[in-house]
Structures are given as C-alpha cells and as structure tokens.
Amino acid sequence: MQTTSRTAAIREHARRRDGTAEALLGELLRNLFDIDAGAVAINYDQYSLNSLNGFFEANGEPYFFKFHQEENEEEMSGEYYRADILARAGLPVDQPVMMSTLPGEQILVYKRRTDPRFSDVLRALDQTHDEAAAIEAVAAERELNEAVLAVYLKTLHPVSTEEVAREPIHRLFYDRLVSAPEGAYPGGRLASFYVDKSFEFPGATLSWAELSSTRFVINGVEYRDTLATLFDAAHLRLAPARLADNGGVTAHGDAHNANVWFERHADGASLSFFDPAFAGEHVPTLLAEIKTTFHNILAHPFWLYDPALAEQTFKAVARFENGRLFVDFDWQLSPVRQALLQTKAETMWRPLLATLKQKGMLPPDWRDVVRLGLFLCPTLVMNLRAGATSHNATSSLIGLSIAVMVGSPPVDGSDMITRFLDSIDPDR
C-alpha cells in the first residue's frame, strides 16, 4: 500500500519548486487519461493552500487541471469529486472533461478558459476600490446566492447520522482536528500546526500552553472563549454524528472564490463553480455556506492569502499580561468585502435560517455551530504560526485574532460577527 499518494508527492515537489512536479504531473495525466500531456505548467498562486492547479496541452487543445489533496485521504471514507451532483441540482457549475476519483489520484481536467476567477477580481477591488466594478461584482454574488439558495430550499431534507457521516465536507472541518484512522484528538492539523509550538507576534512570544489558554482582548474587546475552548467545542459539536439535527442540502461545500469563474456579459457578470471536491447531497445545512462566508469575505483583505502584503499594509502589536493577550491592529474589511458580507446575510443566511426554523430544523445552538465552523476555516486551512509557512508575525497575530473573533462572542457588547449573526437571526 502506498504511504504517500501521487498527488501528495506532486504537491510536495511543487512546494519545493525542485523542477520535478511538472514531469510527475504529466506522467499522472498520461496514466489516468491515456493522453500525451505536454507543456505542463503549474500555477503557483496564493489560493492553492490545499490544492494544485495549472495548465497543459493534449491533442492540440489547451486544458486547465485542478486537484485537492488531504492528509491520509486513502484512510478516509466517502467520495470526492461527484461533479454531476451540482449540475443535476441546477447549480451553475463547469463540468470537467476528464476526471479521476481514485484516492490519491483525484484530479479534474477542464477545457481552458480565459475568464478570471472571482478571487482575482475581488483581490484587485481590495486595492483599487473601483466602485462601479465593485457594484458589478456584488450584483453577481447576489445572483449566485439566489440561485444557490433556491437549490438549498429545494433539496433541504431530514438526514440520518449515517448519511451525514459519509459526506466528504467533514474533511474540511472535523477530520482536520483528529488523526486518521483512529480519530485521536488533538490530532491531524491541529496537533501538527500548533500543539507544543512557540508563537512569535509583534511584541510577544508565547508557548502553545500560554496562547491556547489565554483570553484575547482585541482592539479593546475581550472575548469569552480561548483557543483551547474553541477547538474542544468544535471537536464535540462538529463531529459528523452531531450534525444531522439541521437537515441536509445539496451543496458545493467548498465554494471559495478561487473555485468560482467570473464571466462578464453585455448586461453584467455571472459566476459559476468548479472543483466540487467536497460536493454532496446530504451536506449539513449549517456547514454548506461556512467556507464561502469566511474565505470569500473574512479572510480578506490580504492577511490569509498574502501575508507579506498584509505585513506591509497593516500594523499589529500584542502584549501578554495577567493571563490575557492584548491585541491591537488596524485591519478591517475592505468596502467590497463589507458589501459581500451584507449580501451574504440578506440573500443567503437569513432566508435559509428562517426556512430551517419554519421546518423545525434549526437547532437552538445554531450560532455556536456557525461560529465553530468559521473558527476552523482559518486555523486549519493552513498553519497560521509565523515562520511555519508563509505567515509572518503580523499576519499570524491578525489571523489568530480573527479566528477568535469569529469563534467566540465578546464578554460584553458586540462586534462585527455578533452584528452579522444578529442580522441573520430568524427570531429578530
């Protein structure tokens, strides 16, 4: 049995940029699809945190490839890349022309397009603040939300714990907290990224024992829960066996904007999905929009995907005192991300939660479920510890602080996330 999958090996060589990843990828494409893949070029972009994408040519035609690779995926249950699920449900999705779903060799191939990804469009707007272009982008997001919501409402149904447990979306959340196959906690990325490590911030250096047990005071607002408390709560509440209480829907599950095409038309713009690595028909409803909400809005501008630019753009400083970590920074959402957050609340979250409530599928602790899902997005998508990957002391401090902000309510008063949750609460 292989100990390292072929896609994992290719990603590792690509990370090292040792000149062998392209040849290995070409060989994989030839083996899987019986094609002569030439001019293989890997796209080294900031959004490929757990995936790899790029271009190649075969039979005179240009193609785009992408694959997602998780640790120990050979030991996990469920299926990847059920691309037809989304199309059958009526979602706007680009269909692959070649596909492999073999564990460790899972890859999608599309005809190459010239359209930009929505992530690239919005990154430019974070910097230019082009009002007309921002209005066009937000309108496209609103239209996509309305289309996705219609599918959620059409496919919403009671689910069993067995159906929920088979969904691959858990690999983005719960499975990153534990070690496969035995499920030891703390394990997985949580253990390898953070446990027993040292954390350097501007103004303070903390051990994991100190950092995980301290309360954050961010820009003068104290937060109730520590990192350790939030990880423990996520391990309990986001366990697949606990998530059947909010029904299930047909969903992409990982529709961050690097998996979304942006197409301009004479009368505006439209969006469509690709790379449905975690698509499913029984996705827990409260998890379906978590990745889009965090990665398309709260991960910006810059701090998650462009740590070096965040360090140049924002100021952040920490002070560890009397068991509390005092953090001050000037990061805030850009105007276009603020508009996207409002749109996500109005056209997705509020009507979805209202329907869940009407059907008796909204658990009383729905805020906790949403918060814990949002919390795991930044902390386990990549290592936020300075020096471990691309993160520096400034981006690490901002990132871990934002993770606490989304995961925990303030001790007193409200903040951006509290106001967002209030705005989507069907009882308000």
User: pTM of the full predicted structure?
Assistant: 0.92
pLDDT at 72: 61
Write the CA distances from 380 to 230, 254, 373, 413, integer angstroms. 13, 14, 11, 28
pLDDT at 76: 42
pLDDT at 106: 81
Q: What is the DSSP string of 2-55?
A: -SS-HHHHHHHHHHHT-S-HHHHHHHHHHHHH----EEEEE---TT-SSEEEEE
Backbone φ and ψ for 355, nearest 5 degrees, come out as: -70, -40
CB atoms within 10 A of CB 265: 8
Q: Is the dihedral of CA 138, 143, 147, 149 positive or negative?
A: positive
Q: What is the DSSP string of 269-291?
A: EEEEE---TT-EEEEEGGGTTHH
Q: Along the 428 residues of the chain, how does pLDDT read in single tens digits?
A: 445 688 888 988 988 888 899 999 999 999 999 999 999 999 888 876 778 899 999 999 999 998 876 666 554 444 556 768 999 999 999 988 998 877 778 888 999 999 999 999 999 999 999 999 999 999 999 999 999 999 999 999 999 999 999 999 999 999 999 998 899 999 999 999 999 999 999 999 999 999 999 999 999 999 999 999 999 999 999 999 999 999 999 999 999 999 999 999 999 999 999 988 899 999 999 999 999 999 999 999 999 999 999 999 999 999 999 999 999 999 999 999 999 999 999 999 999 999 999 999 999 999 999 999 999 999 999 999 999 999 999 999 999 999 999 999 999 999 999 999 999 999 99
Q: Which residues pair with 217 in a beta bridge?
A: 222, 326
pLDDT at 232: 98
User: Domains in the chain, please, with CATH?
Assistant: 6-111 (3.30.200), 118-424 (no CATH)
Q: Is the dihedral of CA 415, 392, 179, 287 positive or negative?
A: positive
CA 426 – CA 428 distance, rounded (Å): 6
Q: Is 286 exposed, middle or buried (0-12, 13-18, 19+ CB in 10 A)?
A: buried
pLDDT at 74: 53
